Chain A
Amino acid sequence: MTDDIRSEILLHVNGRTHRLSVDNRRTLLDALREGMGHTGPKKGCDRGQCGACTVLLDGRRVVSCLTLAVAADGAEVTTVEGLADDGELRPLQQAFIQLDGFQCGYCTPGQLCSAIGMLAEHAAGWPSAVTADISPDGPAPELDAGEVRERMSGNLCRCGAYPSIVRAVLETASREEVTR
């Protein structure tokens, strides 16, 4: 076994395959931003605490600042740049614009990716910490403002646009859950 400190990896980002040689220390966030020019995911804390770097990894939302690029070898990555369908903004993105779901916009790429991942989790019937009855035999948890706030609590917004973010997510939840 050779203990190389670099690796050759493949990443499928927004439908395009990239072959990269990375230092094993490289995070997925840095690989996306600096290696591949995807500057949508933002570096807020670089410590898993703010959610600005959220991307979808094989369809699930993760923080890319604590994901090693080498550990994502072979995965499908979706960044905010890949959310729109052929240049057509999806309902959630339009709602963020119409309802002022941001001010400075720094947290927005993470909020959008996180919300898309969160809606898929909800559609799959996952409960949250505020779901009153988590029994799998009862009805699936309804999305309301409390549920959205809890499920999106991993995304901080320094501008405090939370009320509009919650509205934008609620407004488009049913449409996003079917178009996905």
Chain B
Amino acid sequence: MKEFAYHRPSQIREALTMVVGNEGAQYLGGGTNLVDLMKDGVEMPTRLVDVRHLPLDGVRAAPGGGLVIGATTTNSDAAAHPEVRRRYPALSQAVLAGASGQLRNMATVGGNLLQRTRCAYYADPSQPCNKRSPGSGCSAITGEHHNHAVLGWSDHCVATHPSDMAVALAAFDAVVRYETLDGTHEIPLSEFYLPVGATPQHETVLPSGALITAVSLPKSAVSPRSQYRKVRERASYAFANVSIAAALDVHEGTVRSARIALGGVASCPWRARVAESVLQDGAATADKFRAAADAELSAAKPLRDNGYKVTLARNLIEAVLTELAARTK
């Protein structure tokens, strides 16, 4: 590991001035991803600026009726918060489905959004990888890719985004709030992650040095009726093969509103807007749920060894919507 300086600012402005314009400077949240990657020699910061003593901790009610989750709130505290559990249960479930009790106590909400892919080639500096070393090639396209993307990938990178939390946030139309030296900015999560294209090293729209300060959840009539389900290779403590966050509002057998996001299938949480539009105002039946899933997944382009993800995603959409529909009757 390369030597680095450590700073612990207590003010946002102070933190920004320590990072903006300093190429080697990075924010440190819980360190559960960054310190790991520093040990691998993938990340080599020369200055770490600890965000956990900034006044960004906690969950509070938003003026419009939603919730604001501060960026340094731990994953554990976000998942256990009564209002998150009551109003956005799939978010609580998604966070609880990730990592372990110890890691969730360390990990922050901001760091969770910015965690890097678990593609094994990315973490191994001796292998070609366009995301880590632009232009070096993608080892996974023809290599080990059973847990890589089936939607939205490019010839430059087929990695998935590993976050469970971000999948639920995508379904709930969350907004990421961040700070630069110019002031406060907001961006919907749906526009936060960039399409892969030819530059997989650029994952988000965040300007260099920007500090994530919060994630806000808009008030929603459908979010209390939501569920997160994750399929993985062990019963617990493994990244998703495919996961789903869904919310469904059914009235007299008709879908009034549906929200679906998939995890483990793309470089970002995949909001299933095609499926949602098929469902809108239609019958809340298993046939219709399957048709919606098929419509969404017609865009899937599985790699040599991950075609199972398309079937898995289809089955998950149908199963979770069926359960949610049964619950609202």
Residues in chain A within 8 A of chain B (CB atoms): 1-5, 7, 23-25, 27, 46-48, 51, 54, 60-63, 66-68, 70-71, 73, 114, 117-118, 121, 124-129, 131, 134-137, 149-155
Contact = CB atoms under 8 A, between A and B. Distances in A.
Nearest to B46: A3
Interface of B: 1, 3-8, 18, 28, 30-32, 35-36, 39, 46-48, 50, 52, 76, 79-80, 82, 85-86, 89, 92-93, 96-97, 99-103, 105-106, 235-237
Contacts of A24: 3-6, 48
B28 A71 contact: yes
A128 B39 CA distance: 30
A9 B4 CA distance: 16
Given A46-B39, A68-B28, A154-B237, 7 more contacts: A25-B1, A63-B102, A121-B80, A135-B85, A150-B235, A151-B101, A152-B101
Nearest to A23: B3
Contacts of A117: 101-102, 105
Nearest to A5: B3
B103 A126 contact: no
Given A127-B92, A127-B96, A68 B31 contact: yes
B89 A135 contact: yes
Contacts of A131: 96
A60 B4 CA distance: 27
Given A24-B5, A153-B236, A51 B102 contact: yes
A155 B99 CA distance: 11
B299 to A, nearest CB: 30
A28 B316 CA distance: 41
A131 B46 CA distance: 42
B307 to A, nearest CB: 27
Contact of B106 (A2, A51, A62, A135): A62
A48 B3 contact: no
Contacts, number: 121
A118 B47 CA distance: 34
A47 B6 CA distance: 21
7 contacts: A51-B100, A66-B35, A67-B106, A126-B79, A129-B93, A153-B235, A153-B236
**Of B18, B36, B80, B101, most A-chain CB atoms within 10 Å:** B101
A27 B39 CA distance: 11
B93 A48 contact: no
B86 A153 contact: no
A151 B105 CA distance: 12
Contacts of B93: 129, 134
Contacts of B86: 135-137
A149 B100 CA distance: 11
Contacts of A60: 76, 105
A106 to B, nearest CB: 17
Contacts of B4: 5, 24-25
Nearest to B100: A154
Nearest to B77: A126
A25 to B, nearest CB: 5
A117 to B, nearest CB: 7
A148 B31 CA distance: 26
Contacts of B46: 3
Contacts of A67: 31, 35, 106
B1 A62 contact: no
B250 to A, nearest CB: 19
Contact of B80 (A70, A127, A151): A127
Contacts of A63: 32, 102-103, 106
**Of B4, B6, B85, most A-chain CB atoms within 10 Å:** B6
A151 to B, nearest CB: 6
A66 B105 contact: no
A137 B224 CA distance: 13
